[in-house]
Amino acid sequence: MPLIDASQTFALGAALAALVAFGMWAERQTWGQQVGGPLILIALAMGLANTGVLPHAAPLYDSVGGLLVPMAIPLLLLRANFRAIFRESGPMFGAFLLAAAATVAGALVGALLIDIGPLEPQLVGTVTSSYIGGSLNFVATAEAVGIRDSSIYVAALSADAVGAVFFLLTLMLLPALRFVRAAMPSRFIGAGAQAGSIVVAEPREKQPFDLAGATNGLALSLSVCALSVVLTGIFGMDSLFILVVTALSLAVANFARPLVRRVSADFEIGTLFMYLFFVTIGAGANIADVLGAALPILLFIVVMVVTHLVLLVIAGRLLKLDLAEVMIASNACILGPAPAAALAASKGWQPLVAPGILVGMFGYAIATFIGVALSALLAA
């Protein structure tokens, strides 16, 4: 039993908040600026969970993913300029398509090098769909290819979670590699980021904290989420909840300007929610579960992820892509729109938050089809 049990909600909440506070402090230090807050948080949470301090699963984690993450999306998008978003999502969309193609290529290389058993075609397709879309696509593809009720399913889920952490840790290290920075210069990374970036979010001067404005932002965010639940329920589109939240958030941001002008600290609060989400990602990665049947699947994922990143660096150099845009597109592909938004927010790349969410939603839409098709191809 972990030191802090899943039933100890307040103690566990205090631990998560303390980790986020440490991560925010660390990323202001010289060493932390090179690593990044999300990487620090994931590594710390994973270490604490796998040494018996934090639980791997808890109702509080579900609350963070089910409540705070959807709430963070409107908060991160309220200052988005609609026309600029779609204008700026052009390069990001191209980078995302490259990332998705690199994932498929990585899956084929992994299947060639790693033997993951008689259910290899189904497992490859299921994991690939997860690494283009998200956990929703993992479950949908697993059910479509017939492994949803098999004993290997839980092992695959564990490997999927640990592999996602490995991916994010590796992705966060890319800007620290000189040859990567040389291959893909970025207008967002380094001293020239502010001068070279195209501003999507409205510039705002620093002002004292406005409690009423922050409350307005939370109320508006919750209203968007509530309306999204109603709409998805009416039309039977529960799986598209996050997509509807994003669409409504952009509608409010662009067509309800009087409401948005009454909101403050929205981006900052949204970033805080995403940081808590990063902690739960790290804590949920159970390394012990991977050391059995899941180990070959994890090795497959490692090969797939490494191939994915190597191909993106090569393509980025040839096509002269921006490193920050490639990182967010890759993150949106492998982990989904919420972590992509969190990474962009934590790095201060506000112009990339909305495009990252948008391309991540596109990944949700196509991933299951790609996963099922890949399974059929490998089984043929």
Residue 36's SS3 state is coil
Give the DSSP H/E element, type plus range, for residue 77.
Answer: helix 69-77
pLDDT of residue 83: 63
pLDDT of residue 84: 58
Identify the band that residue 196 occupies on the pLDDT scale cut at 50, 70 and 90: very low
Range 170-188 average pLDDT: 89
pLDDT of residue 286: 78
pLDDT tens-digit profile of 58-91? 999 989 888 998 898 888 888 776 565 566 667 8
pLDDT tens-digit profile of 137-151? 888 888 888 887 676
Range 24-47 average pLDDT: 78
DSSP string, 258-274: HHHTT--SHHHHHHHHH
Tell me the domain boundaries of the chain.
Answer: 60-185+210-275+285-379
Helix residue spans in 203-352 (DSSP H): 211-234, 241-255, 257-260, 266-283, 287-290, 295-319, 323-334, 337-346
Is pLDDT at 129 greater than 80 in this prediction? yes
The CA angle 213-214-215, to the nearest 5 degrees, is 90
Of 107 and 364, the structure prediction assigns the larger pLDDT to 107
DSSP string, 105-131: HHHHHHHHH----TTHHHHHHHHHHHT
**Which residue carries 């990567």 as its tokens?**
180
Range 342-355 average pLDDT: 84
pLDDT tens-digit profile of 209-251? 889 999 999 999 999 999 999 999 998 877 678 778 878 988 8
Of 14 and 210, the structure prediction assigns the larger pLDDT to 14
Mean pLDDT is lowest, of 98-102, 267-271, 283-287, 362-366, for 283-287
